[in-house]
Amino acid sequence: MSEAMAAPRPAPMADVAGRTAFITGGANGIGLGIARALVRAGANVVIADIRAESLAEARASLGDDARVETVVLDVTDRAGFARAADAAEARFGKIHMLIGNAGIGIMGPIVDARYDDWDWAMGVNFGGVVNGLVTILPRIRAHGEGGQIVTTSSQSALIPIPFSATYTAAKAAVLGLSEAIRGELASENIGVSAFLPGPVQSNIALSGELRPDRFKSDSGYQTREAELEKRPVSPLWMEADEVGERVLAGIRNNDLYILTHPEFAAGMRKRFDAILASFPDEPINHERAAAIGFLLGNPVFDEELARHSKKEDMAR
């Protein structure tokens, strides 16, 4: 076992009590489940969402807890993001956890996708994560108390399925972003977790209601969005509160990947096997490998494997 694998880094937010989390898309579904879990664990929570009425309902569901603040936020509005972060700091002093969860379920045949569909999907599902990082990461770094970045990707990033191109492209970008920045921020005691949920009981089917007018003139998906709103939420989908507890555990452990549904493991393995099977069947050019060694691996994967190996050893 390598030295990197032998010494996984400690979790920056192993104790979330008294720390502050900023959650986008936090007024219902997954976001609210995460908020509830954090509040139960003693954290301060700022719930940001585009729906003012949903924010009021979320606050009421939390019993108007003194550790909860709500703020209206469109995650594509960069100036609005800065104002929301200012409000969070005015209330609680410092932000320690950024949970970029806001998302829309925009899907359909690739032949029907138009510029407005792509721009809205990427603007919210990926751009919202980017805007959160640019706005809040410098504030976490400035106070020097450590922190955690949680980015909501999806199992779709690992098992892409037909008719999900716009959604999958954004979620795959979120996953790659998270993997890339984890090693950069570790030295500042800031953890990064990519959250990859499967189906959860939420209002994501109602995403079409939120489509701004500026993304309606050149869209091929609006009829499909109206049909999606009628789709019932299966009782077999995971409950948001269970998901919230899984995310809280991932934050406490500083897990690189926060996964929810073991049912996806076989499909993920097939994808990875298909990729590995596609490499050229020829000897490695060791001189070339030495020249591009910085591209051939990432220590964060060694550390994550070491983390899980340690858990297995402790369980024995």
- Give the pLDDT score at 311: 74
Lowest-pLDDT range of 61-70, 96-105, 217-226, 250-259: 217-226
Domain of 34? 3-315
Cα 38 off chain centre by: 16
pLDDT of amino acid 230: 64
What are the tens digits of pLDDT across the range 52-106?
A: 999 999 999 998 678 999 999 999 999 999 999 999 999 999 999 999 999 998 8
State the average pLDDT over residues 149-166.
96
Q: Any idea what the CATH number is for the domain that residue 7 is in?
A: 3.40.50.720
Instruction: Describe the crossing of helices 165-186 and 127-143 by its angle, rounded to 10 degrees.
Output: 20
**Count of structural domains, the chain:** 1
Single pTM value for the model: 0.93
172 — pLDDT class (breaks 50, 70, 90) = very high
- Are 191 and 13 a contacting pair, CB within 8 Å? yes
In whole angstroms, give the CA distance from residue 36 to residue 45.
9
Measure the CA–CA gap between 313 and 179, rounded to whole angstroms: 25
Is residue 298 scored above 60 in pLDDT? yes
Rounded to the nearest integer, the mean pLDDT of the chain is 92
pLDDT exceeds cutoff 70 at 206: no
Q: Which residues form the catalytic set?
A: 167
